[in-house]
Structure formats: structure tokens, C-alpha cells
Amino acid sequence: MDNCIFCKIARREIPSNKIYEDEEILAFNDINPAAPIHFLLIPKLHIDSLSATEDNHQDLLGKMLLLAPKLAKEQGCEDGFRTIINTGRVGGQEIFHLHFHIIGGRERLPVMIHHG
């Protein structure tokens, strides 16, 4: 994906504050953090969104989910964190390359979903 900003980050054409990298996955700090700890976990493979995932992405998605708590702890999320995957227009997705937000810090995060 030539013009995808996260593909460019994965190809190192755009700099990022990288916190983890392996053959398939990259994690880097969000440029506009919503909390003291806010990083993004992406597959290097371009996938538009969670809606565009297919059965053959199962291993990759599993690896990303298993990595999330490990990196969160390494980054200083001692007592929990929030994982957000915005999907599509309704989900408020802005960058159409699948990414998991990992958000945390010392204080409890605001309640995001109000019931009733």
C-alpha cells in the first residue's frame, strides 16, 4: 500500500517512536497520545481494518493480542490498560491500516461506555 501512513512507518519511510518489532508486527507510540501510555500495535501486512480480516489472519491476530499485555507491562501499565480497535466509519477509524490502541497510565481511564 503505497500511500498508507502505517505501511510507510513499517517500511521506515516515516519515523516513529518504535517500542517493538518482529517480522510480522510493529508497535510504536501514538503521535497524539490520549493518556501517559498510548501506543499502537500493527501488523506489517496491510489490512484495512478489523472488518477486512480473514481466516488466514488468525495466527497474526492471535500473536498481536498475546503481545498486547506483554508490551503494556513493559511500557509501565502496572495495573491494567485499555485496548481499542476503531473499525470503519461508525467506529471512528481514521487510519485504514488495522491497529490496536493500547492506552494506560497510573490513573483510571474515564468510563467509555455508559449504559442505560
Known catalytic residues are 99
Q: Minimal distance in Å, beta carbon 15 to ligand 5GP?
A: 9
Choose among ligand 5GP, Zn ion, none what residue 48 binds, the Cβ cut-off being 5 to 8 Å by kind.
none
By CB under 5 A, residue 60 contacts Zn ion = no
Given the rule CB under 6 A, which of 19-27, 62-70, 86-94, 103-111 is the region that contacts ligand 5GP?
86-94
Amino acid (1-letter code) at residue 33: P
Site string for ligand 5GP, 17-46 (x = CB under 6 A): -----------xxxxx--------------
For residue 87, the tally of other CB atoms under 10 A from its CB is 17
The item of Zn ion, ligand 5GP, none sharing an interface with residue 30, based on CB under 5 to 8 Å by kind, is: ligand 5GP
Residue 17 to residue 6: CA distance in whole angstroms: 13
CA quadruple 58, 63, 68, 69: dihedral, nearest 10: 110
Q: Which of 39, 41, 98, 106 is nearest to 79 (CA)?
A: 106
Question: Could you tell me which of 69, 89, 87, 88 has the C-alpha nearest to residue 79?
Answer: 69
Q: 76 in the Ramachandran plot: left (φ > 0), alpha (ψ -120 to 50) or beta? A: left
Site for ligand 5GP contains 50 (CB under 6 A): no
Q: Footprint of ligand 5GP on this chain (CB under 6 A)?
A: 5, 14, 16, 28-32, 86, 92-95
Q: Footprint of Zn ion on this chain (CB under 5 A)?
A: 1, 4, 6-7, 46, 97
